[in-house]
Amino acid sequence: MEKTEVSLTYTPEKIPALGKAILPQKTPKKRAIPWKEALFYGIFCGCGFFWSRPEVLQILHPLGSAYLSAFFGEGALFWGVLAAVGLGSMTQVPLKSIGVLISAAAVQLTLGRFVRQEEAGKKALLGAFSMALAGVFFAISRGGLGFYMAVAAVESALTLAVGYLLQKGVFLLQKRPKYPVLTREETVSLMLLSGGVLAGLATLEQPLLRQSLVPAMAAFLLLLAAEREGIGGGAAVGVFLGFLLYICGGGEFSLLIALSLGGMLAGCVRDLGRLASALAVVLTPVIFLFYIDESVLEPIWMGGLIIGSVVFSLFPRRLLEKMAGGRREAQHPADRYTNIKEMTEEKLLRFSDAFAALSKTFVQEGHQESKEEISKLVDAIAGRVCQDCGMVHYCWQEELYRTYSMTFSALSYCDSKGSIGLEQMPEHFRATCARTDAFMEAVHEVYEGHRRDRLWNSRLIECRELVGQQLLAVGDILKTLSGQMEWKGVFLEETAEALENALRKAGIHPRKVFVTEEKNGRGRQVRLELTACGGKGICRDKILPLVQKAIGCPMVLQEEGLCHYGEREESCILHFQEEPPFCLTTATACTAAAEGQPSGDAAAFLQTEKGQALLALSDGMGIGEEAAKESRIAIELLEQFTQAGFDRELAVQMINSALLLRRGEETYATLDICHVDLFSGHAEFLKQGATASYISRGGRVISLRSTTLPAGILQQISVEKNEMLLKDGDMIFLMTDGVTDAIGGEQKTAAWLKEKLNACPMANPEDAAAYILQEAKKERQDGRQDDMTVLAGRFWQKRA
């Protein structure tokens, strides 16, 4: 359907005055709500006031400058925070505080405008520089004492560290994302920001406010951390808050232990509900301090602890989940994966036993003719000849035993000699029987029918036994796989969590996120299940950059432009894999033995999701359609087994079994396989009856030979392997015997290739394959016609 654009125009002077009042006005751009901006400005300024008040170890004053460093380059907000920090720091050394404010203002006016909001390192360095500048001036004003110089150095270092840790929390509050999924770094930063405010509250001179607000805020933060992180998070926040209060003079060491115990127990009982966690935070410090330091347990302090716990218990759940960013559950991936592995192995073994039992139903013991079958043959002969004979009563009643034995002997003679004549029959038969010719004809007809039935029955038994052998082979394969379930990879839980957080912040809500890599640290893969985009292409445009940033290496989307739908139609599954540093480009050139016939050779190239490349070449027996069918079957099976993750040697053995049992007549095909690891350049060559492979490197040619029979001849085969470490620019050549025989054998082919490639160097595998095939056709002199195929692959390193 074509789009139709409709535009409306009007002339203001032609419209009545009343009409002008109802004209649609241009919609102004949406701006942030002023009261929200004012609220957060007030929060940042209030935090600055409290952050500037604490004194670390009764001599250091780095917190105000560290907090102020988070707002360099923020314009009006910086000056508001600067005023709040200056107001709060007046309780400290006035001269030094004024120096810090002046140096920070100078940095803002000169260097601050070049700092972006997300540059945490630069902001922290500017804060440390302003702190050092103020400390040096203060030391000079005191006579340049080395002690004050050392204090200035320590304060600068603390400003740098604390300011850097504080950046993510401040940046998160400034952005106020719609989907606040907190990472651990952001959680630590927010707790540090809250701890600084708590330490500032502890410096208030009004005892009522100090003794009520400090425990109330501490209890709320402990419960929030325990709800999100569990035992470890509650205990860690308790230790952190207690330690911060202790070094800032806001509490004794016993308070540190009490808060850590309260947070730990709150995390222990979080599954019982918020009320249980609140009771743990209230009762644990009270009981502990009652025995250790009873002087802390003042009624106002205990009341503040209770108020903070009650506020947390009554806090709206939705707002609480938004603040906490979701609960983290403790996981034990090693145990979970081991259980999955054991369950899978057990299931594969059950499948193997089932196939073995099923194969037994197709295997029959040697068939022996029963007396019932022989009686049926004798009755058939009697029914055809003797039923309306006048001597039937005499022969089959009075002389039953002799007539039955004679007929059975005649059938036995036919079985051994093929036929029986009248002269081989007993004398009494020839003398008494009135229908000798008809009887002999009936014996031959019944026997021939029985022989045909027995032949077809034996063929049916052979087919059943063949099916049984195949089922038994499938059972053996499953049993072999059950012993190879040890996965050579690891799950990256932290990376998956970071990727999930990044996706949620971008408004993408994945249902499942898996990040894996091989144990050698290569081959990272990402599997995402998320809501289907309906063909909008967010998997390539929006998700891929986030995946690359979270994984930290180049990634590619498998089967780009195609979403794999999951169990539910509204979900799709995306697979990303690490892009290997090497690449293998291939090309094939071939010609048939006779014009108008298909080539009996088949070639394939595929690259797996783990950065593994496979070149394969197969030569079927003979030429024409039958040879093409055999080679095509071998290559197709190899591709299927490789993509399914089978070991290469096991895949070759299964292909050999398939060719061996596929038909009764003799069929075979060669297999020439080159497997390349695109991360390391390690190449592995496997051959079954194939000719030599060649590697062209820097003007010389390396030969890789093997002495094995083709697949489909022997039931048990041994796979020979040759290994090489490829280098940038190597050219690999796989070719069938039609090429090497035309040149004069494998040994002459190596020297011939060196001569041709040195005379005409080529970097394009397509040109190289076509050139080698064309030159080989010129060498064919004996008139022998055979299929000729050259598979060339160039190994090269990707440039950054």
Distance, in Å, from the CA atom of 411 to the CA atom of 254, rounded to the nearest integer, reads 110
Q: What is the pLDDT of residue 189?
A: 83
Distance, in Å, from the CA atom of 304 to the CA atom of 256, rounded to the nearest integer, reads 17
Residues 612 and 641: beta-carbon distance below 8 Å: no
Q: What is the pLDDT of residue 92?
A: 67
Q: Which residues contact 669 (CB under 8 A, 6 or more apart)?
A: 618, 619, 620, 621, 630, 631, 633, 634, 659, 710, 711, 712
Q: Which of 234, 314, 217 is nearest to 275 (CA)?
A: 314
Pick the most confident of 237-241, 626-630, 730-734: 730-734
Residue 7 scores a pLDDT above 60: no
Residues 763 and 694: beta-carbon distance below 8 Å: no
Q: What is the pLDDT of residue 586?
A: 92
Q: What is the pLDDT of residue 337?
A: 61
Strands 682-688 and 671-677: antiparallel
Q: Which residue has the higher pLDDT, 205 or 333?
A: 205
Tell me the pLDDT tens digit for each residue of 699-733.
Answer: 888 988 887 777 766 656 777 788 899 999 899 99
Tell me the pLDDT tens digit for each residue of 633-682.
Answer: 888 888 887 877 777 777 787 777 777 666 545 567 888 889 999 988 99
Q: What is the pLDDT of residue 587?
A: 92
Q: What is the pLDDT of residue 363?
A: 65
Calculate Rg over the CA atoms of the chain. Answer: 44
- pLDDT tier, 5 (very low <50, low <70, confident <90, very high otherwise): very low
Residue 12 scores a pLDDT above 50: no
In sequence order, what DSSP letters do the residues of 432-499 get, joined into one string?
Answer: H-S-HHHHHHHHHHHHHHHHHHHHHHHHHHHHHHHHHHHHHHHHHHHHHHHTT---SEEE-HHHHHHH
Q: Which residue has the higher pLDDT, 368 or 425?
A: 425
Q: What is the pLDDT of residue 118?
A: 78
Tell me the CA end-to-end span of the chain in Å, nearest whole number. 45
- pLDDT tier, 418 (very low <50, low <70, confident <90, very high otherwise): confident
Q: Which of 738, 763, 747 is nearest to 703 (CA)?
A: 747
Provide the 3-class DSSP secondary structure of residue 400. Answer: helix
Residue 785 scores a pLDDT above 80: no
DSSP state of 315: S
Provide the 3-class DSSP secondary structure of residue 238. Answer: helix
Pick the most confident of 17-31, 417-431, 583-597, 645-659: 583-597
Residue 542 scores a pLDDT above 60: yes
What tokens were used for 485? 């379930």
Q: Which residue has the higher pLDDT, 317 or 733?
A: 733
Q: What is the pLDDT of residue 791?
A: 92
Mean pLDDT of all residues in 93-102 = 80
What tokens were used for 679? 């991360």
Mean pLDDT of all residues in 679-688 = 89
By CB neighbour count within 10 A (0-12 exposed, 13-18 middle, 19+ buried), where does 333 fall?
A: exposed
Residues 701 and 733: beta-carbon distance below 8 Å: no
Which sign, positive or negative, has the C-alpha torsion 764, 769, 770, 771? Answer: positive
Count of residues in the chain: 800
By CB neighbour count within 10 A (0-12 exposed, 13-18 middle, 19+ buried), where does 103 fall?
A: buried
Q: What is the pLDDT of residue 9?
A: 44
Q: What is the pLDDT of residue 13?
A: 44
Provide the 3-class DSSP secondary structure of residue 722. Answer: strand
Q: Which residues contact 485 (CB under 8 A, 6 or more apart)?
A: 341, 344, 345, 348
Q: What is the pLDDT of residue 229?
A: 77
Q: What is the pLDDT of residue 734?
A: 92
Distance, in Å, from the CA atom of 42 to the CA atom of 63, rounded to the nearest integer, reads 19
Residues 609 and 587: beta-carbon distance below 8 Å: no
Greatest CA separation found in the chain? 154
Mean pLDDT of all residues in 329-333 = 48
Residue 788 scores a pLDDT above 80: yes
Neighbour count for residue 64 (Cβ, 10 Å): 32
Tell me the pLDDT tens digit for each residue of 432-466.
Answer: 887 888 888 888 888 888 888 888 887 777 777 76
C-alpha distances out from residue 585 to 730, 736, 773, 792, Å? 11, 20, 18, 8
C-alpha distances out from residue 11 to 8, 15, 16, 18, 25, Å? 10, 7, 11, 14, 15
Residue 17 scores a pLDDT above 50: no
Lowest-confidence segment of 113-122, 258-267, 568-577 by average pLDDT = 568-577
What is the dihedral angle through the alpha carbons of 488, 493, 495, 501, rounded to the nearest 10 degrees? 150
Residues 301 and 215: beta-carbon distance below 8 Å: yes
Tell me the pLDDT tens digit for each residue of 262-315.
Answer: 888 888 888 788 888 888 888 888 888 777 777 777 788 888 888 888 888 887
What tokens were used for 772? 């080698």
What pTM does this model have? 0.52
Tell me the pLDDT tens digit for each residue of 727-741.
Answer: 998 999 999 888 888
Residue 392 scores a pLDDT above 60: yes
Pick the most confident of 149-158, 321-330, 521-530: 149-158
Distance, in Å, from the CA atom of 161 to the CA atom of 154, rounded to the nearest integer, reads 11
Strands 720-725 and 700-704: unpaired
Residues 122 and 115: beta-carbon distance below 8 Å: yes
Q: What is the pLDDT of residue 14?
A: 43
Residue 329 scores a pLDDT above 50: no
Burial 401-431 (b: 16+ CB within 10 A, else e): eebbebbeebbebbeeeeebeeeebeeebee
- pLDDT tier, 15 (very low <50, low <70, confident <90, very high otherwise): very low
C-alpha distances out from residue 385 to 400, 418, 432, Å? 15, 21, 14
In sequence order, what DSSP letters do the residues of 659-698 get, joined into one string?
Answer: HHHH-SS---B-EEEEEEETTT-EEEEEEEB---EEEEET
Tally the C-alpha atoms within 13 A of residue 556's C-alpha that lie toward its C-beta: 12
Average pLDDT, the chain: 79
Q: Which residues contact 487 (CB under 8 A, 6 or more apart)?
A: 337, 341
What tokens were used for 568? 């539910």
Q: What is the pLDDT of residue 244?
A: 84
Mean pLDDT of all residues in 545-552 = 86
Q: Which of 262, 251, 214, 256 is nearest to 239 (CA)?
A: 256
Distance, in Å, from the CA atom of 218 to the CA atom of 243, rounded to the nearest integer, reads 12
